[in-house]
């Protein structure tokens, strides 16, 4: 009999409040290794606040995060990145005046070891690090078919391509857990499907564990292996997509009163 793998991520009794207003209330769930876990719920449900706890931007009032078996009340963002937690943001957080390649290289900055003096004097360690970072960036751009845009200024690219650049930057440091905040926001149907397909490929081929927030329920129910539903900071439901789709509490509270139909 095969022993189940321990969770890649455990959220255990997390609560968070801002000036007495509860954003998250005693939230617990687990994410299995190499799983896509979707967080859904109305605006203000606490989804982005949870991602901010997971990568160390916010400190919970109570509870803990267990990542790959290690317990944390909080984790500094730099520590989170070095431990293998990557993050993509709802609004493109790209450097608009920089090239695509340089934006992706920025995702490696927390792993730099050369000093400013070494960089200024172009000393061997700085040159070797720059060469290694650029090679890695071009390798990742190849995964997204973006090599031909490597030297293009990112602000000149269509929004959907910019989202691909942001995804490339989020994975360039080879995270084991990837947090994505509404990666499909602002896209048309074709762009959404393209990015959803890329996320599925990253999960499958790079064996990435992914936690994402998304409002397009049709795509969520086809993309995710596991769905957690939040409502006013509390967990309303937690399970496989089919169970979430048919859950009467979810239907009543979030999905508008009708069972969601998934296109074949």
The predicted model gives 86-97 an average pLDDT of 82
Same domain, 157 and 53: no
Same domain, 134 and 119: yes
Same domain, 182 and 260: yes
Same domain, 125 and 162: yes
Q: What is the predicted pLDDT for the residue at 75?
A: 80
Same domain, 170 and 211: no
Helix (H) / strand (E) containing 27: strand 21-31
Residue 89 lies in a domain: no
Residue 161 lies in a domain: yes
Domain boundary, last residue among 174, 199, 214: 174
Same domain, 41 and 100: no
pLDDT band at 32 (very low <50, low <70, confident <90, very high): very high
Domain boundary, last residue among 120, 139, 174: 174
Domain boundary, last residue among 154, 174, 194: 174
Same domain, 65 and 106: no
Same domain, 60 and 78: yes
DSSP state of 182: -
List, as one string, the DSSP characters of 83-130.
HTEEEE-SS----TTSBHHHHHHHTTGGG--S-HHHHHTT-HHHHHHH
Residue 63 lies in a domain: yes
Residue 117: give the domain boundaries: 94-174
The 10s digit of each residue's pLDDT in 175-221 is 999 999 999 988 889 999 999 999 999 999 999 999 999 888 889 98
Q: What is the predicted pLDDT for the residue at 33?
A: 95
Report how many domains make up the chain: 2
pTM beyond 0.95, yes or no: no
DSSP state of 35: -
pLDDT at 41 over 60: yes
Same domain, 69 and 189: yes
Q: What is the predicted pLDDT for the residue at 117?
A: 57
Q: What is the predicted pLDDT for the residue at 43?
A: 80
Same domain, 99 and 229: no
Percent of the chain exceeding pLDDT 70 equals: 86
Q: Where are the alpha helices (DSSP H) in 144-247?
A: 159-171, 189-205, 217-223, 241-246
Instruction: Give the contacts of 5 (CB within 8 A, at least 6 positions apart).
Output: 32, 33
Same domain, 154 and 209: no
CATH number, position 43: 3.40.50.300
Give 112-120's long-range contacts (Cβ < 8 A, gap of 24+).
Answer: none
Same domain, 76 and 200: yes
Residue 76 lies in a domain: yes
More confident residue, 118 or 221: 221
């Amino acid at each position: 009999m095969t022993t189940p793998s321990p969770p890649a991520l455990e959220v255990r009794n997390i609560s968070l409040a801002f000036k007495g207003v509860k954003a998250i209330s005693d939230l617990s769930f687990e994410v299995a290794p190499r799983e896509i876990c979707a967080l859904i719920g109305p605006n203000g449900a606490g989804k982005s606040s949870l991602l901010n706890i997971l990568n160390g931007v916010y400190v919970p009032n109570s509870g803990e995060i267990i990542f790959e078996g290690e317990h944390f009340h909080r984790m500094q963002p730099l520590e989170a990145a070095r431990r293998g937690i990557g993050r993509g943001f709802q609004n493109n957080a790209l450097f608009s005046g920089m090239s695509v390649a340089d934006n992706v290289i920025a995702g490696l900055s927390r792993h730099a070891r050369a000093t400013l003096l070494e960089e200024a004097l172009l000393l061997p360690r700085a040159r070797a690090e720059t060469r290694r970072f650029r090679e890695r960036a071009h390798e990742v751009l190849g995964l997204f078919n973006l090599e031909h845009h490597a030297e293009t200024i990112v602000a000149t690219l269509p929004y959907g391509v910019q989202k691909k650049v942001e995804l490339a930057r989020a994975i360039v440091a080879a995270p084991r857990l990837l947090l994505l905040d509404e990666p499909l926001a602002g896209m048309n149907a074709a762009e959404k499907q393209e990015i959803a397909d890329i996320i599925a490929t990253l999960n499958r081929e790079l064996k990435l564990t992914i936690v994402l927030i998304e409002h397009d329920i049709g795509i969520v129910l086809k993309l995710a292996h596991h769905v957690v539903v939040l409502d006013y900071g509390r967990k309303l439901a937690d399970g496989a997509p089919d169970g979430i789709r048919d859950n009467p509490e979810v239907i009543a509270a979030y999905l508008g009163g009708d069972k969601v139909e998934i296109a074949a």
